[in-house]
Structure formats: structure tokens, C-alpha cells
Structure 1
Amino acid sequence: MARQKMDWLGDRQTVLAQNIANADTPNYRAKDLRQLSFERELRDIQPVRMQATSGTHLQGTVRKPDIRVEELRARDVYETNPNENGIALEEQMMKVSDTQMNYQLASNIYHKNMMMLRTAIGQTGR
């Protein structure tokens, strides 16, 4: 889940960067990704079936989550630019900052999980 969250946050960062890059484009509407739902992801996890083509091969359940870009609805904004697209750069930059902090959190969780697994199998160090 941490890795999927990191993938989602990376994709969101790309969409937010496009919003910022198109802030002066006439009639451009800001976009964002549909939120990643922990409950939906748990519901969609398939049980691991042990299928081997040889004694050392296993098939897992890793799949890319369903992430869709949604165009944000026009809403009342406190500032408008001459292009009338309603993209507030401050709002986009806050979303970028939030995405960056969440990515760091997911990265730390993933790293700690890997360290616990290494400890469990008897490997020490980094």
C-alpha cells in the first residue's frame, strides 16, 4: 500500500505541475487525481494463489491501482487571472507541498517496513 500511495502521489505531482504550467492558458481547467481509497484497495486485493512454473517462481497480486484524472469543477475563487481559467497558483502550490509531505511519509513507512523484513530474516545493516 505504501508503494501504491507513492505511485499515486508521483502521478498527482505530475498533474499539479501541468496545472501550474497551464496557469496562463485561456480556459484551462485545473485537474486533480481521484483520491486513493484504502478501503477500496483492500477490497480489490486478490488472494495469492501459488502457481509455479518452476520450484522458484511464484505469481503475486501486484497491480496498478485505478487512478483517473478528474477535471475540477468551476467554483468561486477569490482571484481570477486575465485568462479566466480560475487557477489559483497558491492553491496549486499548497497541493504540491501536501503531496510532497505525503510522499515523504509513505517513503518512510516503506523504508521501515523493509527494515523490519530484513530484521526478520536475519539481515542487519542497511
Structure 2
Amino acid sequence: MSAAGLPLLEMLKTRLHWHQARQKLLAENVANADTPGFAPRDVAQPRFGADGRAVSTTLSPVRTSPLHIAPANASRNVSETDGARFEVRPSGNAVNLEEEMLKVAQNQADYQLAASLYERNLAMLRTAVGRR
């Protein structure tokens, strides 16, 4: 079995890739802070199954306006304020720089933690095999 096949290392590797993708998206949010009509985006966190593999997240339709046709299993009435979670500036932009920068800092700290855990697990495996 290769070291890459261990569930913990696979989970950490998936988490590191997620943090990289999220950092790119958060940087795009900050870069478009002055773009009229821009809505900030974020990446959903990966979920892991019992075997340590990433589980794909299925998307379901969301009714964002009362004028939309409701899905067959939807029982929730949606008001028009559900889509307005963010403060909208006069330019029509919904990017809050303070909030985005806090997300960037937290993402960086989480990435460093995952990278440190990955490195320590590899060092522990090398020690167990007899290589330092």
C-alpha cells in the first residue's frame, strides 16, 4: 500500500486542494470589490465518508423567488428577502471587504494547519518504516 492510499493522508490532501481553490475564489471576490453587480462566491467544504474518501455534494434546486416554479418536494414558501443576505452597496455590489479578508485569513490558517498535519503524518510514516 502506498502512503498516498491512506485515508487520513487522502483527506488532508483533499482538504489542501479545497483550501487552494477557496483562496483563489476569495481573491477573486476581493479583486471584484468595485465591480458593479458582482456577487461574492464561496466553495462548499468537502465532506468525507466513513472510508475517508470525499463524498460528492449533490445540488438541489433552490427557489429564490415566489415567481419560480416550486420543485415537487418543496413545501417552503420563499420570500424575496431570502436572496439578500449581504449588504448591497450603491454600485449594486455585495462584496464586504472586511468579511472577505477575514475569510482569507481563516482559510490561510486552516491551510497551514492541514499542511502541518500532512507533513507530520508523512514524517511518522517514514519513522515507522525506518527512514528518517
TM-score by length of 2: 0.66
Structure 1 match to 2:93: 85
2:42 counterpart residue number: 32
Unaligned residue ranges in structure 2 (runs of 5+) = 1-10, 60-82
Identity %: 41
Secondary structure in 2 matching 1:114: helix
> 1:75, CA displacement in angstroms?
1.1
Q: What residue is the counterpart of 2:4 in the other structure?
A: none
**Could you tell me which residue of structure 2 aligns to residue 75 of structure 1?**
85
Which residue of 6, 24, 37 corresponds with 2:16? 6
**AA in 2 matched with 1:31:** R
Once superposed, what is the RMSD of the aligned Cα atoms? 2.4
Q: CA shift at 1:37, angstroms? A: 1.3
Equivalent position amino acid for 2:27 in 1: A
Count how many residue pairs are aligned between Structure 1 and Structure 2: 98
For residues 39-78 of structure 1, the aligned pairs below 5 Å read 39=49, 42=52, 73-77=83-87
Instruction: For structure 1, list consecutive stretches of 5 or more residues without a partner in the other structure.
Output: 46-64
| Distance in 2, Cα, partners of 1:91 & 1:41 | 35
Distance 1:10 1:76 in 2: 24
Question: In 1, are the aligned partners of 2:16 and 2:114 still within 8 Å (CA)?
Answer: yes
